[in-house]
Amino acid sequence: MFDAHAHKGDECSATALVCSSSEREYEALLDCPFRALGTIPEGGTDPDMAVLEKAASTGFHIGEIGLDRRYDGIPRQEEIFRTALEIARRYDRLAVIHSVRMNQRVLEIIREMGIHRFLMHGYTGSAEQASAFIREGGIISLSPRAERTRHFKALITLPFVTETDMRTGKEEEAALLAWNERLSALTGIDIAERTERMMKEALG
Ligand SMILES: [Zn+2]
């Protein structure tokens, strides 16, 4: 089983893409086999983009990065997001995208910049928009929160991967197992197997 988006718990996990919300986690993630360094607009402080660049050059993917309607300064958020996407592209890394009520804008930016290697983490938008991201080459990742949206039934007809967005460890493993079993029962597809296959390809 593979968790498409988790955060670091007490230890690294070899069965999760360990992501970060701040570039300050660089040192902490160095030992994780599948790691991504990012910065999301929750702190309000200006991230050090040079650290993101250093990370990309030393085997990190880039994320989570993105846009969040709950926070001010959308133009500044966009500037940081674009710079991070540019770094992901320059080093040919997967961009792990966090979007809160900004999916349309994210899609426009992805298209405008010609980004094709990305994952929409914790996706809860419509199936139509999900299909648009997939057409651009993106991966849709569903956490258990997706089941509480009105789009859930339509979303699970699309190819997607699964994530917990939890800290790696026993609880995260149990949550992922339950989530995969739930989705496999609903779709008749081995979701754990598919996620692992899609993620190995995306991270390779
Ligand atoms: Zn996260």
Query: Which residues have CB under 8 Å from 32's CB, separation 6+?
Result: 8, 12, 13, 18
- The overall average pLDDT reported for the chain is 96
Ligand 1 centroid – CA 104 distance (Å) = 20
Report the distance separating Cα 35 and Cα 126, nearest Å. 28
Give the chain's domain count.
1
Q: What is the pTM of this model?
A: 0.97
Ligand 1 centroid – CA 166 distance (Å) = 7
Ligand 1 centroid – CA 127 distance (Å) = 21
Q: Which helix (H) or strand (E) holds 154?
A: helix 152-155
- Angle between helical axes of 191-203 and 170-187 (0-180°, round to 10): 110
Q: Are residues 108 and 129 in contact, defined by beta-carbon separation less than 8 angstroms?
A: no
Ligand 1 centroid – CA 122 distance (Å) = 8
> Mind listing the pLDDT tens digit for each residue in 86-127?
999 999 999 999 999 999 999 999 999 999 999 999 999 999
pLDDT at position 45 is: 75
Confidence of residue 197 (pLDDT cuts 50, 70, 90): very high
Other CB atoms within 10 Å distance of the CB of residue 184: 16
The mean pLDDT of 29-41, rounded to a whole number, is 95
Ligand 1 centroid – CA 111 distance (Å) = 23
* Ion ligand 1 neighbours, Cβ < 5 Å: 165
Ligand 1 centroid – CA 146 distance (Å) = 14
Ligand 1 centroid – CA 97 distance (Å) = 9
Where in the sequence is the domain holding 23, given as residue range(s)? 3-203
Ligand 1 centroid – CA 153 distance (Å) = 23
- Please determine, for residue 62, whether its predicted confidence score (pLDDT) is greater than 80: yes
Q: CATH number, domain at 180?
A: 3.20.20.140
